[in-house]
Each structure stands twice: as C-alpha cells, then as structure tokens.
Homo-oligomer: A and B are copies of this chain.
Amino acid sequence: MDNLNKNELLALANDWLTENEGKKKSTINDVAKLANVSKKTVSRVINQPNTVKVTTRTRVETIINKIKFQPDMQARGLAFRHSFLVGMIYDNPNAQYTLNMQQGILDGLKGSGYELVVHPCDRNQQDFVEEAKQFIERQKLRGVILTPSASEDERMAKMLKEIDCDYVRVASVSLDDPKHMLVSNDMQGGVLVAKHLCSLGHQRIAFVTGKKGFRSSEERQKGFEVGLAEHNLSLNPRYIAQGQYTFESGIAAGHQLISLNPIPTAIFAANDEMAAGVMQAMRVKGMSVPNDISIVGFDDFQIALNVWPRLTTVHSPTLDIGRLAAQHLLGMNNSHAPGPESTPWLVERESTTHLAANN
C-alpha cells in the first residue's frame, strides 16, 4: 500500500469519493485509511508537517487535497482547548472606522483558519466587562482585538489578563505592554496638520477637540501643539472648542469659533465629521472655505470627499492597523518585540489655502 504511486493513490481516492458521494463529510479517519497511516500522522501533517517523513507527508497531502478534507474546527477547538475564532470588541460610533477595522483584521486573519466574531459593547452599561468575559469564555476565543474607546478601558484589560486571554489594544498611545498594543500614532498626524497650516502662512489657528476621554483627541491635539511650537506658535485656549466627534458638535464649534474676535484664519477639527460640521457653519454664515478660512479634518473617511470643497485631512491607515493588529495577535507567542506602529499622512485637498493678504 505504501508503495502506491500518485496515480494509484488518486484512483483509490476517486473510488472512495464515488462510493461516499452525498454522504457525510470526510474526517481525519477517512484520510488515514486512504493514505494508509494512523490518524495521528494525518494530524501531524496538518499541524507540524516538518515532523513527518516527506514521502509519507506527500501521500497524506495528496489524499487531503483530492477528497478536499477540511479538519473540523469544532473538534480541533475542543482538543486544542480554544476555538478558531478571534473577537473584535468595539464601541466606536463611526461606521466607516469600524468597518475598515473589521476588514483590516479579516485581511490579517486570511489564510490562518481563524474567523472574526464581532462584539460591540457599551461602556455605559454596568456589566459590560462581565458580558465581554462571558462572550470570550463561552466561545473560548483564541484572542480579542480592542478598538477605541473600548481599548482604553483598564477594567477591560484587567479582566482579559485575569482570564488569560490573548489580546491587542488598538489605541493612539501605548497603554499596556508592547505585546498588547498597536499604536496608531495620531500625535504624528497632528504635527503634520500644524506644519501644513504654518507653511500656508496661518498663525491664528483654532482647534476643535473630540469627545472627552478619547485619547485620540488628546494625541491629535498634543501633536498639533508640538507642530505649532516648531514654528514658534502656540494654541490660544480661547481658540479651542470642545467637540464630540459628531457632525452636530462640529457645527456648534464652528459657530463658536467664528464669533471670536479676531476670527481664526484656519480651523483644525479632530475628525472629518466635525470638520464637515464646521464647514456647514461657515456656509450658514456666508463665509467661504478656503478663501475666508481654511479647514482641516482627521481620518480621511468618505465624508472628506462628500463635502465641498473637499477636505484636507490626515489619512489614518485603518485597514493597515487592523491587519497589523490581527497579525500581532496571532504571532503573540513568537515575538517579544515591541508592538508595531502605523504612520498617518496628510492629504491635501481644496479646503485649505494660503493665508489671504487681507488677513
């Protein structure tokens, strides 16, 4: 039996296939029988191919491919004591961000055999940590990826450590051991905005913050101030408006900022949504963007292209971040290297221009 050549082996598998047509799915036992090895050897070919003699391995692989054997993830999970699922725990209200992140994670998981289970949470709810814990334990997740602001919650991180669940936190600043972090470096994005506006000659620049307690907003502001400082400028507290990361809050902030005297010549909003709201406020007041005032956003989501003029903004590589986070999670045991970082870049569009002479 062991001396069958490939064609004889395939013929054997073909016979078996016609015999079992329409019957239940093939198992590791079927493969073992056809390849004339023990099921343990088939298991080795699947999990640690290098430990199997090449001729044996080739024989087993030929059968696996021929009868399209797929190991049962349920059974594998039971034996391995964890499932082949990765969880994404999130509470970000922005659809585009969340979906991009999902897609990035799925990219990173591709080919690994792992699937993505999504799990929104609500930090305002009393039992949201306990609820997440039950979710993870019930499905014996391989690990979880957290995005802001769920990723910034220390109660959540504490729980994950307690139940010894692998995890990666996506955030704009390092909050944990590097092996648990994927830093999106929003600060650097803020620096880029400052440089851009300064290079256009602006000096009276306003800032619209994001939602209170969101690290991303703090980091974007911090970077912005660092960038301004390099041009010997600083952010006047009067020119800082509190926003909520929403379109509506952008409108309000816009109205507040243009009522100032002197009026700012440029406004940096901590995300695109608010920048679009600021533009709305300008329009209502009959001000022209960018001639009367330059506006910059952050994220580079769809909305940046849907407004007119289109928004100059910072592109945050959400897809890449998701992919890196997934790879970081699955490779967690292999590396004690610091977690990867992602680098944003500036996208110049029509909402910013040189400071007009009359300003």
| A residues with CB within 8 A of B | 25, 70-75, 77-78, 83-85, 95-96, 98-100, 102-103, 106, 113, 115-120, 134-135, 137-140, 247, 273, 276-277, 280, 283-284, 302-303, 305-308
Contacts and interface: CB of A to CB of B under 8 A. Distances in A.
Given A74-B77, A247-B305, A95 B99 contact: yes
Q: Which of A134, A138, A273 has the most CB of B within 10 A?
A: A138
Given A303-B306, A306-B303, A72 B116 contact: no
A302 B95 contact: yes
A83 B78 contact: no
Could you say how many copies of this chain the assembly holds? 2
Contacts of A283: 308
Nearest to A83: B74
Given A102-B118, A277-B306, 10 more contacts: A73-B83, A74-B77, A84-B139, A95-B95, A98-B99, A103-B120, A115-B139, A283-B308, A303-B303, A306-B306
Contacts of A276: 306
Contact of A138 (B103, B113, B140): B113
22 contacts: A70-B134, A70-B137, A72-B78, A74-B74, A75-B78, A85-B115, A95-B96, A95-B99, A95-B100, A96-B96, A98-B99, A103-B120, A115-B119, A115-B135, A116-B117, A117-B117, A118-B118, A247-B302, A273-B306, A283-B308, A303-B306, A306-B307
Contacts of A117: 85, 115-117
Given A95-B96, A98-B99, A280-B308, A139 B73 contact: yes
Contact of A306 (B116, B119, B247): B247
Contacts of A75: 78
